[in-house]
Structure 1
């Protein structure tokens, strides 16, 4: 599955390289970037990162004509600590412009995409994103991942390193990752199980930890918080909800 995503990014990367060779280097974003880890710790453990993703490879289109402005408003008003924004167009129907559209409500933004090239980090740094997702197993070695972690940090971004298993976690640690996101999805079957988070949390060692995929109830959030997760990332269930704001309020407990 990740190989398919990597192939899908090659055209974008080639365009970025051509623009770079022609001297069109993106300027660094000059606005405020709210602290991503800081916001999570302020609401954690069990803080909610609410996601905007119009589609997914496993479920197809989640919401027709989804407007990120509506979602950032609902998320900001109902207890989200941060917002994850899909910018990948082919499989998730995202767009980098969504980061700019969501920047005015004060939530730290995580750019969620398949980032494998330094120029993609440069493009992220030219946006209002506070954090950028790096998927550990999309890199050939922990050395390559370390270079991207350090590049993101040098650009003023907080790298969120995603892992699926113990080998990924070892690579993330060797790369110096300080924010670990555990993906509970099996990439071969596209099924999810929180057992991945339950198992890996035993290896927590001082990093900020996020459990992603498969969390859609207050009880599951409380369980993940009890295990030690600083945050959970919730996307699909919010995108499918009749009233995403009301659902988020139940998940965060602000309607209690």
Structure 2
């Protein structure tokens, strides 16, 4: 299976479809690692049953290409490179470093550039993880059936500072589904397990959660609370989702 196919399949087949994020700093500049190594964070995510991991390589969040390479060396889970990708070489470099999916932000890309990048990503075996913030952007996603279409609950115009608006996801889910998205995700600003459960129960195929999991005393317990809030609760994740970091 291609790298991109692995990412979507892992997310859609998971009983707990939460993309767990590795990032060094919050949007406000707060350290999120709290003295932990990247290996320790990745191990906690694997223990919690993560189907996929997002790696924030953007400089806003203290990231860089080396972080993606480090995470890829630690885990066999499918990886999303989360950054402002605007060119073909960034896609190629993402694959070289071990990504299976790559963030493309509709707000930042002219339509013709977005279409070329989606085509090139798919040609490389990468899943386009296309981020939208309104209905017009959802309708503009090219080859949406082959993409993850993600509603960003935060505003990139202010560098995602401040609380997210989870109502944006609820309001835009119908537009994402009308666009024919192969996988619908709610991303960013998701803190409480009960909110995460409501988003999944409303029809999202997956969630992307970063800061809340990095600040949680135990990602496994956060996920257990999510499971308990689901209607009905999901079955346990299969053992193969709990991979070794060796």
**TM-score, normalised with respect to structure 2:** 0.81
Alignment of 1:24-173 (within 5 A): 35-43=6-14, 47-88=17-58, 90-103=59-72, 104-140=74-110, 142-173=111-142
Deviation of 1:196 after TM superposition, in Å, equals: 0.5
Unpaired stretches in structure 1, ≥5 consecutive residues: 1-30
**Contact persistence 2:19–2:206 (CA under 8 A):** yes
Q: Deviations over 1:59-102 (max 9, x none)?
A: 532234442211111111112111000112x3111122222322
Q: For 1:200-240, what per-residue CA distance to the aligned partner results, in whole angstroms no more than 9, with x for missing partners?
A: 01221342011011212232222111221000110011122
* Equivalent position of 1:14 in the other structure: none
Q: Is the 8 A contact 1:54 1:239 kept in 2?
A: no
Unaligned ranges ≥5, structure 2: 229-235, 238-246
The count of corresponding residues between Structure 1 and Structure 2 is 222
C-alpha separation in 1, matches of 2:185 and 2:3: 24
Asked if 1 retains the 8 angstrom alpha-carbon contact of 2:3 and 2:99, the reply is no
Closer/same/farther in 2, CA of residues 195 and 33 from structure 1, 3 Å limit: closer
Structure 1 vs Structure 2 CA RMSD:
2.5
Of 106-115 and 176-185, more deviation after overlay is shown by 176-185
2:168 corresponds, among 196, 202, 207, to 196
Change in CA separation of 1:185 and 1:159 when aligned onto 2, cut-off 3 Å: same
Query: Which whole-Å CA distance do the structure 1 matches of 2:134 and 2:112 have between them?
Result: 18
Deviation at 1:150, TM superposition (A): 0.7
